[in-house]
Amino acid sequence: MSDVIVIIPTYNEIENAESIIRAVFSQKRDFHVLIVDDNSPDKTGEIVKGLQQEFKNQLFILERKEKSGLGTAYISGFEWALEKSYQYIFEMDADFSHNPDDLPRLYNACVAGADIAVGSRYVKGITVVNWPLSRILLSYGASRYVRLITRMKVKDSTAGFICYKRVVLEAINLKKIKFVGYAFQIEMKFKAYKKGFKIEEIPVIFKDRTKGKSKMSGGIITEAIFGVISLKIKSLFSK
Ligand SMILES: Nc1nc2c(ncn2[C@@H]2O[C@H](COP(=O)(O)OP(=O)(O)O)[C@@H](O)[C@H]2O)c(=O)[nH]1
Ligand SMILES: [Mg+2]
C-alpha cells in the first residue's frame, strides 16, 4: 500500500488523461492516483475507468455530477484521501503544466521536513514556458499582490502543484474553504501558513498545456482579487 496519492482534477481532459496517469505510474516511487472528474462531456471518466483494469488498487476515480470548480474538486479529493491512510497528498493538473517528473522532488522535501512543498514558478526568476506574456504578468502580479496584502512568505501563492503532509489537511477545516479558482490555492496556503506549518518552495518549470483547453475564466480572477482582501481581514479577527 502506497502512502502517497496524487489528486488530479479533470474536466474535458480526454487528450491528456491517459498520458498523465501513465507518467505518474512510470515514476520509480509507488504513487497512487485519484482522478476527480466532473462528468466531462468528452468522456474523460470512461478512459480513466478503462485504465483501472490495468492499474488495479493504484488508480481511483471520484465522479461528480457536474462541473463544480477546481477548489471543490480538490476538497472532495482531500476528504477521500484522509479517509484512507495516505500520508502525502498531492495536487497536480492533468494538462502537463506540472511535470510529473518533479513529483519525487516535492515528495522528498516533505519527507525531509517541510509540511507543504510547493512547486514554485517564482523562486528562480520566472520559470514559465509558453504562456502568453499577459498570463505571466497576471500570475506574477497576483503573487506580488498576495504577498503585499497577506505578508505570507510564499512567492508562488497561486501555484497548484503541491505536496501536503496529511497533518496539514487534517488541521485545516476543509468545510470552511470557500474559494474555487486561484483563490482556492491562495486560501489553502494562507490557512496553513497561519497555523504555523512549514511551507517550502521547490523551483519547477511550468509549461503551458499543448493539448486541450484552459478552463480559466474572468470570474476566477475577480474572486482572487477580492478574496485575498477578505482572507486577510478575516484572519485579523480570528487571532
Ligand atoms: N474536476 C474539475 N476539474 C477542473 C475544473 N476546472 C478545471 N479543472 C482541471 O484543473 C486543472 C487546471 O485547469 P486548467 O484549465 O488547466 O487551468 P489553467 O492551468 O489555469 O489554465 C486541469 O486538470 C483541469 O482539467 C472543474 O470545474 N472540475
Ligand atoms: Mg492548465
CATH number of the structural domain spanning residue 13:
3.90.550.10
User: Is residue 7 in contact with ligand 1, taking CB distance under 6 Å?
Assistant: no
Ligand nearest to the CA of 42: 1
Reduced to 3 states (helix: H, G, I; strand: E, B; else coil), residue 203 is strand
Mutual angle of helices 182-194 and 70-83, in 10-degree steps: 50
Domains of the chain: total = 1
Ligand nearest to the CA of 17: 1
Question: Each residue's pLDDT tens digit in the chain (239 positions)?
Answer: 899 999 999 999 999 999 999 999 999 999 999 999 999 999 999 999 999 999 999 999 999 999 999 999 999 999 999 999 999 999 999 999 999 999 999 999 999 999 999 999 999 899 999 988 988 998 899 999 999 999 999 999 999 999 999 999 999 999 999 898 889 999 999 999 999 999 999 999 999 999 999 987 777 888 888 899 999 999 998 76
Q: Which residue is associated with the grid cell 476538497?
A: 75
CA 111–ligand 1 middle distance (angstroms)? 28
Residue 51, pLDDT score = 98
Question: Which residues constitute the domain of residue 123?
Answer: 4-237
- Please check whether residue 116 is in contact with residue 199, taking contact to mean a CB–CB distance below 8 angstroms: yes
